[in-house]
Amino acid sequence: MLGVLVMQQAVVLAAGLVLGVRVAHPALLILTLMAWTLVLLGLGATLGAFANSHSALSAGYDIGGLVLSALGGALVPIAAMPGWLAAVAPVSPGYWAVSGLHAALDGNVSRALAAAAVLVAFAVAAGLVAAWRIRRGWGRSTKL
């Protein structure tokens, strides 16, 4: 598993070098990615705590990933979204991840730190919901 992760990172790094991607603040990029990872872990724990089956869990991951990506501006730029959808975008942690990554690439320290803080807040909220559900009792089938 670790070998696969290393290979993925090597491919992404090589592609970035070939395409000439320059990161103004690599530390902010790493911070944003770590905060985004915490959000995904928290949301995954929450989905796992509520899912009644592997199928439900898989559907939740798939649909949730698409919604977070689309609403956050990773699939369609916020500027190209209808006004009502662009207004709702900041509710999605995906929006803050994209915003933080753009800020890190541009070198906007305050915007990157603000995005990371919002992401950590999302992560804490998701973790608290998962912990509450687990403490309350799983209430799901034994198939998982």
Instruction: Please give the share of the chain, as a percent, with pLDDT higher than 70.
Output: 93
Structure confidence at residue 140 (pLDDT): 55
- Let me know: does 46 contact 64? Beta carbons within 8 Å: no
pLDDT at 52: 86
Whole-prediction pTM: 0.84
Q: What angle do CA 51, 55, 60 make, to 5 degrees?
A: 55
How far, in Å, CA of 48 to CA of 101, rounded? 27
**Residue 121 belongs to a domain:** yes
Could you give the number of structural domains in the chain? 1
Q: Give the tens place of pLDDT for each residue, 72-98.
A: 999 999 999 999 999 999 999 999 999
- The tokens of 4 are what? 């696969």
18 located within any domain: no
**Residue 108 domain-assigned?**
yes
Cα-Cα-Cα-Cα dihedral sign, residues 9, 127, 116, 91: positive
Whether 39 is covered by a domain: the verdict is: no
Residue for token digits 């199928």? 55
pLDDT tens digits along 45-78:
999 999 988 999 999 999 999 999 999 999 999 9
The answer to whether residue 35 sits within a structural domain is no
In the structure encoding, which two tokens stand for residue 39, read together? 């959000």
pLDDT for 10 beyond 90: no
**Owning domain of residue 141:** 46-144
